[in-house]
Chain A
Amino acid sequence: MTDYDVVVVGAGPAGSIAAKTAAEKGLDVLLIEKRQEIGVPVRCAEGVSREGLEKFVNPDSKWIASEIENAEIISPSNHKVVLSAENAGNEVGYVLERKIFDRHLARLASKAGADVLTKTSAVSFKRENGTVKLGIRSMGEFSEITAKIVIGADGVESRVAKWAGIDTTLKLNEIESCVQYLMTNIDFDDDTTYFWVGRKYAPGGYIWLFPKGKDAANVGIGVMPSLAEKSAKWYLDRFIEEHFPDGEIVEVVVGGVPVKGAIDTAVADNVMLAGDAARHTDPITGGGIINAMSAGHHAAIAAYEAIEANDYSKEFLRKYDEKWKLDFGESLVRNKKLQEKMMRLDDPTLDRLAESLEGMPIEEMSVRRLAFELFKKHPRLLWDLREFIV
């Protein structure tokens, strides 16, 4: 007898959806979170697509801070390209209040029947008789619990991956180093997200502004450590001095975003990784919430099937690898390649591209149209990117 069918480590979007789905399937589930408050401190810019979110939860005004219509991309010399939210990719639509959103998801898991423990860390891992003995430290007390399956949803710093023997260590060109300020006293359109691109602003990344209501916005940066000479905070502070000298900072958010692209496998005997732990974040945008929720869902279904079949082997759990790869794995592979190419564009090239597209009507600015314009203006570049524009 094991204590639980499934223990989920980490109560972010991946973990809570995994626990909720597994509990709904009738499994005995424990969800543990090392922090004392779920969702705090936030490590996110909080943008999600409407469609992606609505697959999993009904939007609730309690945790939606803004609705977004447009995305504006700004080149180093200030040329602006405007896209509608639907055409801009995965991370525009809603800006969430993750402190509330993450708790809401954990509550859904608990309502579905999962046990939830906060201020509880997974601290050790041992396989024994075909199951796992997981050491947990809960409010300072150490104990061991047994589980048939462990879902590692423990985010960017995942230790479950390492314990299970899945090497997910990120190289310096596989992570975005991020800082963000929640700012007031700044000017912006509250239905628009803004992206400043180019090495001048953020080597290997970009600067974003995501509105949170009318009078505050998340202003943040991601830089790639392999290209950046200073810390992310240094670049962001310089930008803010130039662009928003009168802005006030009312909150600081710090984080690392995995931009590794798809890993070969997110499973080992008794273990599945989901979300940032499995490096499921989009390498171009850095968006990971929706993929994390999808992965959590797929992992829980695979856990249910494994328990039905009484087989928790790596071979059986590969079903889960197939599921997430079919869902969003291809886009991780593709966007990693595209990101590597984009990284090579210098600022003058970005400026020329943006200049050639500036002022185009929003409704006509789709990815296809972008490709067409690029082809006209920069045939060599298009050749380089041909496999991505179909």
Chain B
Amino acid sequence: MKKLIVNRYRCGYCGACVAVCKFNANELVETYLEIYEDKCTLCQACVRTCPMNALEVVE
């Protein structure tokens, strides 16, 4: 199954990915990005927006 993962060692906790998610599938909890798999459609808007290339869809 495909899913979206965040590389926490690369993430700069900026919230840009949250701003482009139509599905409320992610949240920046202080300096920790949560991804809610049940809501994520894998549309990849966040992947394209991330300044640090910290998001990736994997099998």
Flag if A35 contacts B49 (CB, 8 Å): no
Band of interface residues on A:
20 to 34
Given contacts A34-B30, A157-B28, contact A256 B16 (CB under 8 A): yes
Flag if B52 contacts A179 (CB, 8 Å): yes
Q: Say which residue of A34, A172, A225, A255 sits within 8 Å of B14 (CB atoms).
A: A255
- Kindly identify, within residues 248 to 265 of chain A, every residue whose CB is under 8 Å from any CB belonging to chain B: 252-256, 258
Q: Is A234 positioned at the interface, with any CB of B under 8 Å from its CB?
A: yes
**Cβ of A349: which chain B residues have Cβ within 8 Å of it?**
none
Q: Say which residue of B24, B29, B31 sits within 8 Å of A41 (CB atoms).
A: B31
Main secondary structure of the interface of B (DSSP, over half): loop
Main secondary structure of the interface of A (DSSP, over half): loop
A130 to B45, CA, bound (A): 36
Q: Is B20 positioned at the interface, with any CB of A under 8 Å from its CB?
A: yes
Flag if A225 contacts B29 (CB, 8 Å): no
Q: Number of A-B pairs whose CB atoms are under 8 Å?
A: 92
Number of B interface residues at 8 Å Cβ cutoff, please give it: 24
List the B residue with the shortest CB-CB distance to A34: B30
List the B residue with the shortest CB-CB distance to A40: B31
- Kindly identify, within residues 2 to 55 of chain B, every residue whose CB is under 8 Å from any CB belonging to chain A: 12-22, 24, 27-31, 45, 48-53
**Cβ of B16: which chain A residues have Cβ within 8 Å of it?**
156-157, 175, 177-178, 254-256
Flag if A231 contacts B45 (CB, 8 Å): no
Flag if A175 contacts B51 (CB, 8 Å): no
Flag if B12 contacts A225 (CB, 8 Å): no
Chain B nearest CB from A287 CB (Å) reads 17
Flag if B53 contacts A175 (CB, 8 Å): no
Flag if B12 contacts A179 (CB, 8 Å): yes
**Cβ of A255: which chain B residues have Cβ within 8 Å of it?**
12, 14-16, 51
A119 to B51, CA, bound (A): 25
- Kindly identify, within residues 85 to 140 of chain A, every residue whose CB is under 8 Å from any CB belonging to chain B: 119, 121
Q: Say which residue of B13, B49, B52 sits within 8 Å of A175 (CB atoms).
A: B49
Q: Is A155 positioned at the interface, with any CB of B under 8 Å from its CB?
A: yes
A172 to B52, CA, bound (A): 16
* Interface, chain A (partner B; CB < 8 A): 34-36, 41, 43, 119, 121, 155-159, 162, 169-172, 175, 177-179, 225, 230-234, 252-256, 258
| A-B pairs, 5 with minimum CB distance | A256-B16, A254-B12, A157-B15, A157-B18, A232-B51
- Given contact pairs A35-B31, A233-B53, A258-B19, enumerate 5 new A-B contacts (beta carbons under 8 Å): A43-B14, A177-B50, A178-B51, A253-B12, A256-B16
A-B contact pairs, 25 of them (CB 8 A): A35-B30, A35-B31, A43-B14, A119-B30, A121-B29, A157-B19, A159-B18, A162-B24, A172-B49, A175-B16, A175-B20, A177-B16, A177-B50, A230-B53, A231-B50, A232-B51, A254-B12, A254-B13, A254-B51, A254-B52, A255-B12, A255-B14, A256-B15, A256-B20, A258-B19
